Chain A
Amino acid sequence: MDQFAVKVFVRLRPSVLDPAGEATKSASIKLGAKGIKSLRIGKMIEVKIEGNGENEVREKIDLLCDRLFANTVIEDYEYSLEKL
């Protein structure tokens, strides 16, 4: 069994308004940060998982992302995977 560290990034789809991102953008500008064109908030999920090789682990993570971590009606996801 190989063990992998996976980082999943879940983001609101570009077509979905992100009011929390807008509010944070507004606060960033008030802080004095210049040049911010866009700010959107997502989630990062860290998973440690074991399986027989990368392909098997990718299958498990794909299922988790598609069915649980993200709601694909409003969110996109991507992940990176590192063998431990």
Chain B
Amino acid sequence: MDNFTVGVVVFPGSNCDRDVSWALEGCLDIRTKYLWHESSDLSDVDAIVLPGGFSYGDYLRCGAIARFSPLINALDEFVKSGKRVLGICNGFQILTESGFLPGALVANKNLNFICDDVELDIVSSKGGWFNNVDEKQTIKLPIAHGEGRYHCDSDTLKKLVDNELIALRYKNNPNGSSFDIAGITNEKGNVLGLMPHPERACDETIGGTDGLFTLKSLILK
């Protein structure tokens, strides 16, 4: 595991890239490397995080422009090879816009930008993203988004439920998401997108450590 490296993608407008890197390096001793969005060489990273922020100023729709970056074009092969990709907040929006995950994220029902800690139920263990030694089924993570309302049609929702692709559900739905969805995986389980920020919950001094095991699971095979 010594050389395992997590690529943290930097788009113009990303603002959680350094937090993710700090959490991985400082709290988990996992090596990271920043990947500029114009790079398409993913050969020396073993997993990828698409961090939160406002890529390309959220122009047109959140994640819509990022989808056309060289890095996202190269991501298809990376995902197909089974390597792990974690999309947090804006990263989740990019994963839905680019078709790696189904559905879309739209403006919160109450139009507020919500910055809060939320309680979440771990629904599926697919991909092992939320396995933890304490076997917690409910965790607390911070959210910070204006456009985090997960939306999909009823056929897609049925598919998500039937195939156990719903990873996390809000206990008290803050934004109007369909079926209280806060995070989903792809069918293989190697891609996770979620609106909450695990990297902001990696140290007791800043409010909790429930994000640690999700970041740590990036090194799972």
Chain A residues proximal to chain B, CB less than 8 Å: 12, 15-17, 19-20, 23, 68-69, 71, 73-74
Contacts and interface: CB of A to CB of B under 8 A. Distances in A.
B109 A19 contact: yes
Q: In this complex, which of B68, B96, B97, B106 has the most chain A Cβ atoms within 10 angstroms of its Cβ?
A: B106
Contacts of B110: 19
A19 B108 CA distance: 8
A71 B152 CA distance: 12
B96 to A, nearest CB: 8
A20 B107 CA distance: 8
Contacts of A71: 61, 64, 97, 104
A20 B109 CA distance: 9
Interface size class of B (residues with CB under 8 A): 20 to 34
Contacts of A17: 106, 109, 149, 176
9 contacts: A12-B106, A15-B153, A16-B151, A19-B108, A68-B60, A73-B103, A73-B151, A73-B152, A74-B151
Contacts of A19: 107-111, 176
B104 A73 contact: yes
Contacts of A73: 96, 102-104, 151-153
Chain B contact residues, majority secondary structure:
loop
B64 A16 contact: no
Contacts of B109: 17, 19
Interface string B78-105: 0000000000000000001100001110
Nearest to A23: B111
Nearest to A73: B104
Contacts of B108: 19
A20 B111 contact: yes
Given A15-B153, A68-B64, A74 B106 contact: yes
Given A71-B97, A73-B152, A74-B151, A16 B106 contact: yes
A12 B103 CA distance: 14
Nearest to A15: B153
Contacts of A12: 106
A84 B204 CA distance: 64
Interface string B150-175: 01110000000000000000000000
Contacts of A20: 107, 111
Contacts of B106: 12, 16-17, 74
